[in-house]
Structure 1
Amino acid sequence: MQASSRAIVSSQQGPHQDLVRRVQRARDSEWKRPPAEHTRLAFEKADRWLEAQSRPLILDAGCGVGLSTRRLAERHPDHAVIGVDRSELRLSRDHGALPDNARLVRADLVDFWRLALAAGWRPARHYLLYPNPYPKSTQLKRRWHGHPVFPSLLALGGALELRSNWAIYVEEFALGVETLLGVEGEIAAFTPGATFMTPFERKYFESGQTLWRYRVDLAPSLPRGEPIR
């Protein structure tokens, strides 16, 4: 049966007119909200696990049901893969046993990213895979590149890959990276292989929607131990 997923509809015809201002404000303002206790505890456990792994890190941010974390761990057996999602229900979905080099973590990404930065994490690869985009023009601040955490996300460095079924969302993210770091990445439409990274990827593809991918190499822009903002 062919999947049926409605394409994203938005009043925006291009990147949000307020995006650059919001990104610059996030860069210039100190964010002082302390991390939630449950995320701090979850991060401490993940940090100990990562140290014991003694392998380069792949961070799967917003991993949903964790299928992408499994796929990445299988594809990169010489890396430690950590998938993070805030939903216990999604993380509890059964997609088979996790490989030894993978771990799923229930945590708030906004706090988890800042804790990772403060702890000196430097992922070799960093994935943001579907969906986020919050397409209403009034929802810019809920998109990752419109959120105050955006500078911390980028400061982790590594080879970052974002996927979405909304081209404008990908264009905005790329513009945010260029605004903060002056780094240009590559945006391209793509066709997934036989193994889909996430259930969303399968659903969007089988619904005939164009899938977009943004890739960029980020040099770490903050020193190890930068205070949480």
Structure 2
Amino acid sequence: MQASSRAIISSQQGPHQDLVRRVQRARDSEWQRPPAEHTRDAFDGAARWLAAQDRPLILDAGCGVGLSTRRLAEHHPDHAVIGVDRSEQRLSRDHGALPDNALLVRADLVDFWRLARDADWRPARHYLLYPNPYPKSTQLKKRWQGHPVFPAILALGGTLELRSNWEIYVQEFALGVKTLCGVDGEIAPFVPGGASTTPREQTFLTPFEQKYFESGQALWCYRVELPAIVTSRFRMPIS
């Protein structure tokens, strides 16, 4: 059956005019909300598992049903892959046994990111794979690049990869990274499995990736090498 998914519609024609101001405000004002206790407990358990793995970390942020975590672990057997999502229902979906180098964690991602930053985690790779767009212009603060947690995301460093079916969202994220870190990444159209593969040969990391692609929507990928911030709080000089 052919997948059917509506393309994102927004009044925005480019990155939000208030994005840079919000990113700078997040940089200059430390977010004070204490992490939830259940996320602290989940993070502590993940930290113990990661220490026992003794391998470089791949963080799969907002992993949904965990399919991407499984496939990343299969593609990178020499890494430890942690997938984080807040939904027990999504995480409980059966996609087969987890590889030994994979862990699924139920936690508030916003708090998990901040705890990871404060613990000086340094993922080798960091994935944000689909949704989160919030396409209404009034919803900027709900997008990761407009959220107060954005500096904590970037402070982890490593190779960060964002995929989306909304090009403006990817452009905004890249602008936020440039504003905080002064580095440029690469934005490019994305075809799962490569442009030369047929639909039957496609390898999809997430169900959303498959649904959007099979609906004929353009997919976009942003990849950037982030500097690790030595201190536990993100502080960059104002340019």
Partners of 1:101 and 1:4 lie apart in 2 by: 34
Residue 32 of structure 2 corresponds to which residue in structure 1? 32
Residue 185 of structure 1 corresponds to which residue in structure 2? 185
2:224 equivalent to 1:216:
yes
Q: CA deviation at 1:222?
A: 3.7
Identity over aligned pairs, percent: 82
Q: Which runs of 4+ in 1 moved over 6 A?
A: none
What are structure 2's unaligned runs of at least 5 residues?
Answer: 194-201, 235-239
Give the aligned residue type for 1:47: A
Partners of 2:30 and 2:230 lie apart in 1 by: 14
Rate the CA distance shift 1:26–1:222 in 2: closer, same or farther, 3 A.
farther
* Contact 2:152–2:233 (Cα < 8 Å) also in 1: no
Aligned length in residues? 226
Partners of 2:152 and 2:4 lie apart in 1 by: 36
2:71 equivalent to 1:71:
yes
Partners of 1:115 and 1:22 lie apart in 2 by: 22
2:209 equivalent to 1:201:
yes
Map residues 3-42 of structure 1 onto 2, 5 A cutoff.
3-42=3-42
Aligned-pair Cα RMSD in Å = 0.9
SS in 2 for 1:93: coil
Rate the CA distance shift 1:150–1:222 in 2: closer, same or farther, 3 A.
farther
1:184-224 alpha-carbon deviations (Å, 9 max, x no partner): 0000001101210000000000000000000000011242x
Residue 196 of structure 2 corresponds to which residue in structure 1? none
2:155 equivalent to 1:147:
no
Give the aligned residue type for 1:8: I
Rate the CA distance shift 1:218–1:4 in 2: closer, same or farther, 3 A.
same
Q: CA deviation at 1:226?
A: 4.1
Partners of 2:103 and 2:233 lie apart in 1 by: 25
Map residues 62-101 of structure 1 onto 2, 5 A cutoff.
62-101=62-101
What are structure 1's unaligned runs of at least 5 residues?
Answer: none
1:10-40 alpha-carbon deviations (Å, 9 max, x no partner): 0000000000000000000011110000000
SS in 2 for 1:172: helix
Residue 48 of structure 1 corresponds to which residue in structure 2? 48
SS in 2 for 1:51: helix
Partners of 2:156 and 2:36 lie apart in 1 by: 20
Give me the TM-score of the superposition, normalised by structure 1. 0.97
Map residues 95-134 of structure 1 onto 2, 5 A cutoff.
95-134=95-134
Partners of 1:13 and 1:181 lie apart in 2 by: 25
Partners of 1:93 and 1:58 lie apart in 2 by: 21
Q: CA deviation at 1:181?
A: 0.5
SS in 2 for 1:96: coil
Partners of 1:114 and 1:98 lie apart in 2 by: 26
Partners of 1:221 and 1:52 lie apart in 2 by: 24
